[in-house]
Amino acid sequence: MEIAIFGKSFGDVFFDNCHQLFNYLHQKSIKIYIYKPFYDFLLEKVKLRPNVAGFFSAPDDLPPVDMLFSIGGDGTFLKAVTFVRDSGIPVVGINSGRLGFMADISRHELPAALQEIESGRYKVKELTLLELVSPNNLIGDFNYALNELAVHKQDSSSMITIHAYLNNEFLNSYWADGLIVSTPTGSTAYSLSVGGPIMHPSSQGIIITPIAPHNLTVRPLVVPDDMELMLKIEGRGGKFLASLDSRSAVVDENTELRIRKAAFTINMVERSNQSFYATLRNKLMWGADKRN
């Protein structure tokens, strides 16, 4: 078995677990390729020198491994997706902090999860992405989002106006601070925080959620994911921010942004006993009621 390991920094609460992880991989003779900046962090802060077969620093360097371990939180998981891209390599999310929705293997569950993965007792869930089509590839060479695309006003000035079209038919003009276009995976992230609905990960839809809309009659809307959404933004400032997950760029007004479902998916490794509904209850306190 060959794996890649991607991560950033983490607190000392995970140091012992990190040693445990690499000891297990070494005992099982698993070949490891590691993200070079993360390896440097392990050397300097964790005082750990893992035995590795090689390094990678960019998506083109990532070898064709059996799976990639993302060590960190959900932000680290989203960054790992930009390395995996359309390779089909399954991603394992190991949570080194407190709360992780995609990085859902906690440090307490790590020993059991490693044994299950090494023995093949796990599920692979396909997650849909959004593709942004824009002039000159605004967000770099990977214009895809696992959670959401968001457009915002650039500063604290007045609201912006977002003209939205579905399959080239006019939908609405949103007078708001911004707009979030979310996947089902992202429904429990930014979109949820501004009043968007929770969607099951296997739902085939896209959520359009305004941020602080001026009109109270405007509400989140779920549309089929085979539709293309086109946005045109205007405002007094003349510029606005567009972001894909954690990557953003400043965009001139009246720039056309076209959003559609990506042609590929991200494979996410889940434990066999993992349940979306249990995750909602345990991590989002969904439906919390002392009567339950």
Of 140, 19, 6, 86, whose CA–CA distance to 267 is shortest?
Answer: 86
Catalytic (active site) residue 86: no
First-to-final CA distance of the chain: 43
What would the two tokens of residue 103 be?
Answer: 């990085």
Of 69, 119, 114, 60, whose CA–CA distance to 87 is shortest?
Answer: 60
Burial of 185 (0-12, 13-18, 19+ CB in 10 A): buried
Q: Which amino acid is present at 102?
A: M
**Of these residues, 16, 74, 141, 177, which one is catalytic?**
74
Of 215, 210, 192, whose CA–CA distance to 284 is shortest?
Answer: 192
Burial of 30 (0-12, 13-18, 19+ CB in 10 A): middle
Burial of 159 (0-12, 13-18, 19+ CB in 10 A): middle
Residues 6+ apart with CB under 8 A from 88: 264, 267
Of 6, 101, 20, 118, whose CA–CA distance to 62 is shortest?
Answer: 6
Of 223, 102, 240, whose CA–CA distance to 171 is shortest?
Answer: 223
Active site residues: 74
